[in-house]
A and B are shown apart, each in its own frame.
Chain A
Amino acid sequence: MVTISLQRAKCIGCNYCCEMASDRWAMSKKDGKTVLIGSVDKRGFHIVKVGDHEYEDNKRAEKACPVNIIKVVSV
């Protein structure tokens, strides 16, 4: 199992996470920030648990994020 979290308010809308893991991330046309698909908002931290097969792509998204607001942890 892999936990992905996003501190959404700090997103600057660069789009890199969508490029790295396009099945899990999408840019919102409403506010220009990224959306972590399937996540639940817990006090500003958007969190989702996904299967191990998504680990690699999302780890790349974590690494690419210029404002370090994505965390991908294997649990």
Chain B
Amino acid sequence: MIELMAPAGNFAAMQAAIDAGADSVYFGVEQLSMRARSTMNFTLEDLEEVAERCAPKGLKTYITLNTIIYDHDLGLAKKIVDRAISAGITAIIASDQAVIQYAKAKGMPVHISTQLNVTNIETVQFYSLFADVMVLSRELSVRQVKTIVDGVKKDDIRGPSGDLVRIEIFAHGALCMAVSGKCYLSLHTQNSSANRGACIQNCRRKYRVVDVEGGHEFEIDNEYIMSPKDLCTLDFLDQVIATGVSVLKIEGRGRAPEYVKTVIECYREAIDAYNEGTYNQEKIDAWMARLAKVYNRGFWSGYYLGQEMGEWTKKHGSSAQQKKVFLGKGLHYYPKAKIAHFDIDAFSLKVGDKVVIIGPTTGVVETVITELMVNSAKVDEVKKGMDCTFPLEQLVRKSDKLYKLVDVAVEA
């Protein structure tokens, strides 16, 4: 069975991943997780809760501890490994040899991060001394991936557990213009190392090319000359699964909970459809339409199909066809009547509106408003500054936020 691995930047995203059908989640702790700038990181104190939420549902949990490590980081890195073991986290995703060595010595399972750019079978053989799971470089084609997966079986390459090494690849999400994170643009311009998780994303900006000697500016069709579109394998997932890989990873620890929900749901359904023999074009079209609604820079197949390089995005930020607008915060939930009570602090809410409710325990709940009440009287619209109730099957909480989903005009 192929494992679907979801990103989690916070508890809401983690809950969304659990509810959407992920088999495992990966997340960062403190500043050594390749998302140092993100406010969306877990702390050491959160580890027990992560394990408590995931393990009973059968989800595995992985900590990304995959930056380069300086001497002064060793203490924290070891502390993270120790705490992960005591909290019952499944494995550590690592790239620095110090982390790999320490986790191995402590008996903590290791995943070899994509930051180590595994691109051939002998490298798999080498790291099998330390790790049972290896993430391949994102720049390989499906043919090359298959050769490596077949090689593991042929050469009987086993990890420390004694089982055959499991090969993992990225299935969906942002791609880097450099070889899987081996980029120094951010370090050179802002002292901000991508390999320490502090990338300022120079590649996502607009650029002009000027001939310094003559002062002439070159004409290029697209100013976003370094910003790749997002990887999407959903429309050729049959080819991806046929390589025999064991784990499909979804990128996006920095992305919103509703993104995690939508992407994981689509890939879950696609994997299940493949297994049932019902993976077809009609379903693919429907999944692609859903994926286009959440954050994306346009989609391409990455390097998997061996196409030429250079699928660059044409605009800054997301091409999502839907956005969420904050309306208000949760006040109460009446479980017997199944009624949710929310404050409306901004804009307005109407009957028929599509809404999403997001919270650390709730995860992501999407629904359409069928009925609205203010002070027990039915209304069609609730304006800013009022509070309202509406029927809702799922339990929601005070810590939840209510958003309206609105369509974004698609540019020609």
Contact = CB atoms under 8 A, between A and B. Distances in A.
Given A12-B31, A12-B36, A13-B70, A32 B191 contact: no
Contacts of B73: 13, 32
B197 interface: yes
B43 to A, nearest CB: 10
Given A12-B196, A13-B31, A14-B196, A64 B191 contact: yes
Main secondary structure of the interface of A (DSSP, over half): loop
B193 interface: yes
Contacts of A42: none
B72 A15 contact: yes
Given A27-B72, A29-B75, A32-B32, A14 B191 contact: yes
B191 A31 contact: no
B69 to A, nearest CB: 9
Contacts of A32: 30-32, 70, 72-73, 75-77
A72 to B, nearest CB: 16
A29 B73 CA distance: 7
Contacts of A27: 70, 72
B190 A66 contact: yes
A33 to B, nearest CB: 7
Contacts of A74: none
B199 to A, nearest CB: 10
Contacts of A31: 30, 75-76
A16 B127 CA distance: 32
Contacts of A67: 36-37, 192, 198
Contacts of B76: 13, 30-32
Interface string A9-36: 0011111100000000001111111000
Contacts of A16: 191
Nearest to B32: A32
A44 B37 CA distance: 18
Given A12-B198, A13-B196, A14-B196, A65 B75 contact: no
A64 B74 CA distance: 23
Contacts of A66: 190-193, 198, 200
Contacts of B196: 12-14
Nearest to A66: B192
A66 B185 CA distance: 13
A68 to B, nearest CB: 10
Contacts of B191: 14, 16, 64-66
Interface in B196-237: 196-198, 200
Interface in B161-215: 190-193, 196-198, 200
B114 to A, nearest CB: 20
A28 to B, nearest CB: 7
Contacts of B37: 12, 67
A70 to B, nearest CB: 12
A38 B196 CA distance: 27
A14 B73 CA distance: 10
Contacts of B72: 13, 15, 27-29, 32
Nearest to B44: A31
25 contacts: A11-B31, A12-B37, A12-B197, A12-B198, A13-B31, A13-B76, A13-B196, A14-B192, A14-B196, A15-B70, A16-B191, A28-B72, A28-B75, A29-B72, A30-B76, A32-B30, A32-B70, A32-B73, A32-B75, A32-B76, A66-B191, A66-B192, A66-B193, A67-B192, A67-B198
Given A13-B70, A27-B72, A32-B70, 6 more contacts: A12-B37, A12-B196, A12-B198, A27-B70, A29-B72, A67-B37
